[in-house]
């Protein structure tokens, strides 16, 4: 299973973390082709049910590129995003899903290298956990 590449879903904000992801592409920084991105206006808008749905659909890990203190919409964005992660992790525990499958980190608009490093480290961590289907009991069809 050495060639296993986990699927990662990234939620990024259109004004802060998404430009960093775009910059990584423009600079031809390499990260796994199994990273998929959904852009949201503010990372505090990410819902726990979205994260859990991603796991149900076979996504191995969810990464939230948080706005941190730079959010143009909400001054409490980081706090709200953290609460969503905490709530999600409680449900994950109940469902037997390793809480290490969800990660959040602040990314600024020029943080291409940190984004790539996060994806590399998260991918390695998820690879050691194995396919989400093994945890959730889904068939491997």
Does residue 14 form part of some domain?
yes
Does residue 30 form part of some domain?
yes
**Domain with 54 in it: what CATH number?**
3.40.50
Q: Is the pLDDT of residue 5 over 70?
A: yes
Does residue 19 form part of some domain?
yes
Does residue 101 form part of some domain?
yes
CB 133 within 8 A of CB 47: no
Does residue 2 form part of some domain?
no
Residue 134 burial (CB count, 10 A): 11
Does residue 140 form part of some domain?
no
pLDDT at 77: 62
Number of domains in the chain: 1
Which domain does 32 fall in, by range? 8-133
Burial of 98 (0-12, 13-18, 19+ CB in 10 A): middle
R_g of the chain, CA atoms, integer Å: 15
Alpha-helical segments (H) within 44-98: 48-56, 77-94
Task: Provide mean pLDDT across the span 72-96.
Answer: 82
CA atoms within 13 A on the CB side of 133: 8
Does residue 1 form part of some domain?
no
Does residue 46 form part of some domain?
yes
pLDDT at 73: 59
SS3 for 39?
Answer: strand
pLDDT digits (tens, 9 = 90+) for 30-66: 999 999 999 998 888 899 999 999 999 999 999 998 8
Q: Is the pLDDT of residue 72 over 90?
A: no
């Amino acid at each position: 299973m050495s060639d296993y590449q986990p699927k990662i879903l990234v939620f990024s904000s259109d004004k802060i973390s998404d430009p960093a992801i775009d910059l990584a592409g423009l600079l031809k920084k390499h990260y796994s082709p199994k990273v998929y991105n959904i852009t949201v206006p503010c990372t505090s808008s990410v819902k726990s049910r979205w994260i859990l749905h991603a796991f149900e659909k076979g996504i191995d890990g969810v990464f939230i590129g948080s706005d941190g203190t730079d959010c143009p919409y909400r001054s409490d964005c980081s706090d709200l995003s953290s609460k969503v992660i905490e709530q999600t992790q409680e449900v994950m525990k109940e469902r037997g899903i390793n809480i290490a499958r969800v990660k959040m980190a602040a990314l600024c608009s020029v943080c291409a290298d940190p984004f790539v490093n996060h994806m590399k480290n998260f991918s390695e961590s998820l690879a050691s956990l194995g396919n989400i289907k093994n945890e959730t009991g889904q068939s491997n069809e």
